[in-house]
Structures are given as structure tokens and as C-alpha cells.
């Protein structure tokens, strides 16, 4: 008797849990739907739940040369690519010693590499801005690239040092003892071993740059337009500009979700949570 | 080949090599230190110096705490500080409850199917700016939620729909943070949860503990360090985040980064001598974030102890 009642209770409980899971899943998925509808709507007047007419005009506009979206996309790609390459070159040697060596001050360095994730970007951004104005870097693409290195470099180092932690440096020793130059050792031994981790780090840093708003906004000063800025511009106007903002949003989100799916299969989860937390 | 360079070249090469060997760690770290200390540290240093009244551009060169005193007695600053705390605490608290629930029941409710589990990780991948757009098209007076409620005759006009965006309740801002944080916190708490020795649950059950009791007395204490450390990260993040309250927050009082930004833009436009004030605001915001980070370090050290003891 008691057993059967506890069984129905636990059945009821697990049904409630499943319902709550469905509700939470809906709360996560549903808000994305109006963005998709907006991007193909002609007009969407109150109180229509669906627009009366659908059109691809907004997409045509987004891809036309008169809209800001295409130049912003190009800017974002250039900035993201350069930030990833530069931070990889800077981060690789640091990650190697952080992952493989024990030395004095290592714990302090770990804190240093963690701090750009915690200290508000606005504080560093406003501080950097004044210096950049003096150096002529404000309102330039170069300035935006340099400022993106602030969040990108420590992230690259954290990800790559995790790769180097599980890496056997005896291969390098063997190559060296066989007479390979340090460059050859790096090119033919180190690089092939760390390549999967390096590719992952590269992609995530690219996304960090692609999605950065604060540094682009402050240092770019509205003159260097990137994708998040263009979404911001259209979204803050409201009205039918929301349709353009929606189309641009989809362009910006697509690579991010693609990466989530890829990383789900191929990349360790902790990278993901680290990278996406900002 | 090397030998043909002559005898003198050999010791020089050796001394260079010895120099590299001795300073290997430092040399490898050097490029990143230039970024971290030069750029990041330099940016912070510049903000700190300006907040102390060092701004030679307009002839301010004497260090003073005047601007900090001015700030902490300014009601605008204090109200923004309170709003920032409220938004950060509310969004972190709500997200931690939802995430703990999802993490603990994830395996059972989804049957371990990765496609289903991915839904709860989706927020990790969506950029903040997009979540802001989602909030506008969903929660605004003319948004989809109001339209659906109207179609269901639950509200009679837009006036009946509560304003969720741009209000001092901060509902829109909190909604965006909760939506994003649930992805991050679920993942961090879930990774702690799968590390718990499953025998403990069996032991609790054979000793007669109910599901609820098992959760409070076994699962929750073991998850706590993970919940606390991910909560602190989220709290520090929302404390310093800029674009969400910039777009969705009220005009006043808004969060400290927006308060500082508005101050800074006004100063840049009308009176450069006021630039130290927004810098002081951001330095104080950073100090709070650093304190939270130190708490995070404590929490994550405790987490390591638990994971290590497994």
C-alpha cells in the first residue's frame, strides 16, 4: 500500500519535472521565433500575432550595398580574423610555459589572466580610450583590433594552456636531440600535436571578437561599425528597423550556434563555458 | 656550417643560448605580458589616475580623493549602485535556482539525449546583443507576448500589458541575464553533479531518505561550491556589463557602467574637467568586481578540495 502510493507520488513528481523542463525549453527557444518572423515580415501591425504579408525585402536590403550590414560584416570578419591570429601568436608561448612549467608567480599570473573576465570592460575601455585618443588609435579599426586583444589574449592562453597540460614534451626533446632547430621542432612536432586545441581556441576567440560590443563601441566611436553595433543601431530605433535588426541578428547568431553544435561533438565542454560566459 | 663562422662566434652563441635558457619562462611570457600589463593594466592605470584627478589635458595634475568623496555623497551614484546590486543579485539568484533544477534533473528528464540536452546549453552560444533584440520583440508593449495575450483576450489593449522594458523594475535587463546565465550555470553545476559518486544517492535511498531529503542533505551540499562559484562569476559579470542595461534599462537610475558612460559622454561634450568622475565610478565598480573575484577563488578552491576527495 505504502509502496504503491510512494510510486505514484514519484511518478507524479517526475511528470512535474518533465513539464518544468518543457516550460524552460520553451522559454529558451520561443523568444527567437519573433526574430525569424520579423526578418521576413512586410508589415507587422498590432495586434496581429503573425504579419499580414511576408517578404524577403529586408534580406535583400541587408545584402544590398546601401545597408550598413554588409560593411559591418566585413569589418567584423577582418577584425575577428586578425584578433585571433595575433592573440594566437602572443598566446602560444605563454600557454606553453603556463601549461608545462612550474615557476614562482604562476598563481599570480593565473589571476592576471582571469581578471579581464571579471573587471568591467567599461572601466578598461574608458581608461584605454583616453590613451588611444592621444595615440590616434581612437575611431580606427587598428584601435578596435588592439582593444579586442584585451579579452582575446587571456582567453587564448587559458584555452591553450589546458591543451599543453595534457601534452607530452618528450617528443620535442627527441626531435631536438635528433638535431632539429627550434623552429622545425615547433612546426613539425608541437604544432601537429596541439592543432585540434589551437583550432578550437582560434574559433572561440574569433567569436569573442565578433560579439564584442563594449570595446568596439567605445574605441570605434561609432566610426568603425561591427555587426553587434549595427544590430544595436537598428534595434534601438524600433519600428520596422526591428526587421533589419532581426535579419542582422540571424547573420550574427548563425556562426555562434554552428560552433556550439561542432563543439558539442568535438570540443571539451569547459572551453565552451569559459568562452561563452562573456 | 657553424664551425666556418669562426672561433669567436661560438662563445657568443653560447652566451645567448645561456641567456635564453635562464630566462626561458620570462621570454615566453613576454608578448602576453605586454598585452596584459601594458594594454589591460595600462588602461586600468589610466582610469585610476584620472579618477584621482590626474588629467593633464585640462591642466589637472594634483592627485586628490575629491572625486570619490563627491561620488559617495551623490544620490545619483548611490541610487545607480543600488540598482546595479539589485539587478545583479536578482538575475543571479533566479538563474541559480533554475540552473540547479535543470542540472540535477538533466539526465532523467532528457534521457541523456545530447540533442535535447543542447537546448539548455543554447543560451551559451547566443550573443548578448541578440538576446537584447529577443527581449525587445518578445517583451515590449507591441511585442509577441502582448499580442498573444491580446489574441487570447487576457488583455484588452496595450495599456493592460505591464511595461517590462526601460523600467526601474529592471525586468527586461534581468530577463536577458537570466536567459543567458541559465546556459552557463547549468553547464557548470551539471559538470559538478556528474562528478558526484552515485553510490551516495543509493545509500541515502536505502536508508529511507525521500527524493527531497536526498536533495537537501546529499546533493545540494555537494553542489554548493559549484553553485556559489558560478553565481559569483555571473554576479560580477552582470555588475559590470554595459550593453544590456544601456539598451533595456531605464534612463535613471541605471547600472553603474551606464551611469559612468553617460557621465563620460557629457564630460567629453561639455566640460573635460568632469572626466575624473565617471572614471572614479568605474574604478569603484571594478573594486567591487575584484572583491567578488576573490570570493570566487575561495569558492573554487573549496570545489577543488571536494573534487579531489572524490
DSSP assignments along A172-193, one per residue: HHHHHHTT--HHHHIIIIIHHH
In the DSSP assignment, the letter for residue B60 is: B
**CATH no. for residue B143?**
1.10.3720.10
B280/A contact by beta carbon, under 8 A:
no
Whether residue B223 is predicted with pLDDT greater than 80 in this model: the reply is yes
Look at B124 and A273 and tell me if their CB atoms are within 8 Å: yes
Residue closest to B142 by CA, chosen among A53, A44, A32, A209: A44
Look at B123 and A28 and tell me if their CB atoms are within 8 Å: yes
Q: Is A166 helix (H, G, I), strand (E, B) or coil?
A: coil
pLDDT digits (tens, 9 = 90+) for A144-201: 999 999 999 999 999 899 888 877 788 888 988 898 888 899 899 888 888 888 988 9
In a domain, B48, yes or no: no
pLDDT digits (tens, 9 = 90+) for B48-59: 999 999 988 888
CB pairs under 8 A between A and B: 263
DSSP assignments along B73-107, one per residue: T-HHHHHHHHHHHHHHHHHHHHHHHHHHHHHHHHH
Range of the domain at B189: 74-308
In a domain, B40, yes or no: no
Residue closest to A113 by CA, chosen among A160, A53, A66, A59: A160
Number of domains in chain B: 1
Which three cell numbers mark B264?
A: 563620460
Look at A127 and B43 and tell me if their CB atoms are within 8 Å: yes
| Average pLDDT along chain B | 89
Q: Given 1.10.1740.10, 3.40.640.10, 1.20.1070.10, 1.10.3720.10, which CATH number is that of A68-276?
A: 1.10.3720.10
Residue closest to A206 by CA, chosen among A61, A54, A28, A77: A77
Which three cell numbers mark A232?
A: 544595436
Look at A122 and B293 and tell me if their CB atoms are within 8 Å: no
In a domain, B23, yes or no: no
Q: How many angstroms away from the CA of A66 is the closest CA of chain B?
A: 22
Residue B16 is predicted with a pLDDT of 84
A90/B contact by beta carbon, under 8 A:
yes
Q: Mean pLDDT throughout B239-247?
A: 93
The alpha-carbon radius of gyration of chain B (Å, integer) is: 26
Q: How many angstroms away from the CA of A65 is the closest CA of chain B?
A: 23
* Cβ within 8 Å of A, B 180-219: 182-184, 187-188, 191, 211
Which three cell numbers mark A254?
A: 548563425
* Cβ within 8 Å of B, A 108-147: 109, 111-128, 130-131, 146-147
For residue B40, give the nearest of A116, A261, A270 by CB distance. Answer: A116
Would you kindly state where each structural domain of chain A is located, as residue ranges? 2-57, 68-276
Q: Spell out which residues of chain B touch residue A69, defining contact as CB-CB under 8 Å.
A: none
For residue B264, give the nearest of A21, A120, A126 by CB distance. Answer: A126
B128/A contact by beta carbon, under 8 A:
yes
pLDDT digits (tens, 9 = 90+) for A99-130: 988 999 999 999 899 888 889 999 999 999 99
Give the residue from A11, A88, A107, A118 with the most B CB atoms within 10 Å of its CB, the best one to mutate.
Answer: A118
In a domain, B3, yes or no: no
In a domain, B59, yes or no: no
What angle (nearest 5°) sits at the alpha carbon of residue A148, between those of residues A147 and A149?
Answer: 90
In a domain, B62, yes or no: no
Residue A222 is predicted with a pLDDT of 87
In the DSSP assignment, the letter for residue A42 is: E
Q: In A101-187, which ranges are continuous DSSP H helix?
A: 106-118, 121-135, 141-165, 170-177, 182-185
pLDDT digits (tens, 9 = 90+) for B33-73: 999 999 999 999 999 999 999 988 888 888 999 999 999 99
Q: Spell out which residues of chain A touch residue B295, defining contact as CB-CB under 8 Å.
A: none
Give the nearest chain B residue to A277 (CA atoms). Answer: B184
Report the C-alpha dihedral over residues B58, B59, B60, B62, rounded to 10 degrees: 170
- pTM to 2 decimals? 0.89
Q: How far apart are CA A273 and CA A254, in angstroms?
A: 18
Q: What does the H/E/C string look like for chain B?
A: CCHHHCCCHHHHHHHHHHHHHHCHHHHHHHHHHHHHHHHHHHHHHHHHHHHCCCEHHHCECCCCCHHHHHHHCCHHHHHHHHHHHHHHHHHHHHHHHHHHHHHHHHHHHHCCCHHHHHHCCHHHHCCHHHHHHHHHHHHCCCCHHHHHHHHCCCCCCHHHCCCCCCCCCCHHHHHHHHHHHHHHHHHHHHHHHCCCCCHHHHHHHHCCCCHHHHHHHHHHHHHHHHHHHHHHHHHHHHHHCCHHHHHHCCCCCCCHHHHHHHHHHHHHHCCHHHCHHHHHHHHHHHHHHHHHHHHHHHHHHHHHHHHHCC
In the DSSP assignment, the letter for residue A209 is: H
Residue closest to B276 by CA, chosen among B85, B73, B69: B69
Whether residue A252 is predicted with pLDDT greater than 70 in this model: the reply is yes
Q: How far apart are CA A23 and CA A25, in angstroms?
A: 5
Look at B28 and A96 and tell me if their CB atoms are within 8 Å: yes
Residues 6+ apart with CB under 8 A from A277: A117, B124, B184, B233, B234, B237
Give the residue from A7, A26, A31, A270 with the most B CB atoms within 10 Å of its CB, the best one to mutate.
Answer: A31
In a domain, B296, yes or no: yes
* Cβ within 8 Å of A, B 37-76: 37, 39-40, 42-48, 50
Q: How far apart are CA A47 and CA A68, in angstroms?
A: 30
User: CA quadruple A209, A165, A259, B110: dihedral positive or negative?
Assistant: negative
Residue B286: pLDDT band by 50, 70, 90 thresholds?
very high
Residue B28 is predicted with a pLDDT of 93
Amino acid at each position: 500500500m505504502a509502496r504503491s502510493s510512494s510510486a505514484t507520488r514519484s511518478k507524479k513528481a517526475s511528470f512535474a519535472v518533465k513539464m518544468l523542463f518543457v516550460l524552460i525549453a520553451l522559454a529558451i527557444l520561443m523568444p527567437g521565433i519573433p526574430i525569424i518572423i520579423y526578418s521576413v515580415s512586410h508589415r507587422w501591425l498590432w495586434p496581429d500575432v503573425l504579419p499580414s504579408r511576408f517578404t524577403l525585402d529586408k534580406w535583400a536590403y541587408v545584402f544590398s550595398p546601401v545597408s550598413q550590414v554588409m560593411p559591418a560584416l566585413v569589418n567584423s570578419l577582418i577584425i575577428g580574423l586578425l584578433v585571433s591570429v595575433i592573440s594566437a601568436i602572443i598566446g602560444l608561448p605563454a600557454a606553453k610555459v603556463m601549461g608545462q612549467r612550474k615557476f614562482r608567480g604562476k598563481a599570480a599570473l593565473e589571476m592576471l589572466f582571469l581578471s579581464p573576465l571579471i573587471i568591467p570592460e567599461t572601466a578598461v575601455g574608458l581608461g584605454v580610450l583616453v590613451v588611444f585618443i592621444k595615440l590616434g588609435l581612437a575611431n580606427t579599426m587598428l584601435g578596435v583590433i588592439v582593444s579586442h586583444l584585451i579579452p582575446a589574449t587571456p582567453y587564448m592562453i587559458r584555452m591553450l594552456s589546458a591543451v599543453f597540460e595534457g601534452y607530452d614534451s618528450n617528443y620535442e626533446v627527441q626531435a631536438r636531440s635528433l638535431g632539429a632547430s627550434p623552429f622545425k621542432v615547433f612546426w613539425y612536432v608541437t604544432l601537429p600535436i596541439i592543432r585540434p586545441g589551437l583550432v578550437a581556441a582560434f574559433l572561440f576567440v574569433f567569436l569573442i571578437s565578433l560579439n564584442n560590443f563594449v570595446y568596439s563601441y567605445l574605441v570605434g566611436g561609432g566610426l568603425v561599425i561591427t555587426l553587434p553595433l549595427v544590430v544595436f543601431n537598428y534595434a534601438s530605433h524600433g519600428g520596422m528597423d526591428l526587421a533589419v535588426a532581426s535579419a542582422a541578428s540571424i547573420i550574427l547568431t548563425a556562426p555562434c550556434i554552428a560552433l556550439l553544435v561542432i563543439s558539442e561533438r568535438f570540443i571539451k565542454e569547459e572551453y565552451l563555458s569559459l568562452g561563452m560566459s562573456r | 656550417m657553424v664551425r666556418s663562422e669562426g672561433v669567436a662566434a661560438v662563445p657568443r652563441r653560447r652566451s645567448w643560448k645561456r641567456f635564453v635558457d635562464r630566462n626561458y619562462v620570462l621570454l615566453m611570457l613576454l608578448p602576453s605580458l605586454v598585452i596584459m600589463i601594458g594594454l589591460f593594466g595600462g588602461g586600468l592605470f589610466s582610469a585610476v589616475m584620472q579618477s584621482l584627478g590626474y588629467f593633464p589635458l585640462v591642466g589637472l595634475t594634483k592627485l586628490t580623493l575629491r572625486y570619490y568623496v563627491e561620488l559617495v555623497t551623490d544620490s545619483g551614484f548611490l541610487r545607480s549602485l543600488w540598482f546595479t546590486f539589485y539587478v545583479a543579485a536578482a538575475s543571479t539568484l533566479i538563474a541559480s535556482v533554475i540552473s540547479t533544477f535543470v542540472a540535477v534533473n538533466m539526465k532523467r528528464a532528457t534521457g541523456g539525449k545530447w540533442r535535447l540536452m543542447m537546448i539548455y546549453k543554447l543560451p551559451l552560444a547566443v550573443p548578448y546583443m541578440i538576446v537584447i533584440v529577443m527581449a525587445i520583440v518578445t517583451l515590449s508593449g507591441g511585442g509577441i507576448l502582448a499580442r498573444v495575450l491580446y489574441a487570447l483576450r487576457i488583455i484588452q489593449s496595450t495599456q493592460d500589458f505591464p511595461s517590462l522594458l526601460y523600467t526601474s523594475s529592471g525586468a527586461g535587463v534581468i530577463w536577458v541575464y537570466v536567459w543567458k546565465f541559465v546556459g552557463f550555470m547549468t553547464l557548470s553545476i551539471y559538470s559538478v553533479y556528474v562528478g558526484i559518486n552515485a553510490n551516495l544517492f543509493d545509500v541515502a535511498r536505502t536508508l529511507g531518505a525521500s527524493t527531497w531529503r536526498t536533495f537537501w542533505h546529499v546533493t545540494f551540499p555537494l553542489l554548493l561550491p559549484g553553485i556559489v562559484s558560478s553565481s559569483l562569476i555571473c554576479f560580477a559579470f552582470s555588475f559590470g556589463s554595459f550593453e544590456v542595461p544601456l539598451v533595456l534599462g531605464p534612463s535613471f537610475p541605471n547600472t553603474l557602467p551606464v551611469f559612468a558612460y553617460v557621465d563620460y559622454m557629457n564630460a567629453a561634450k561639455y566640460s573635460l574637467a568632469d572626466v575624473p568622475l565617471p572614471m572614479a565610478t568605474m574604478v569603484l565598480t571594478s573594486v567591487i568586481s575584484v572583491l567578488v573575484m576573490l570570493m570566487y577563488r575561495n569558492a573554487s578552491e573549496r570545489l577543488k578540495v571536494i573534487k579531489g576527495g572524490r
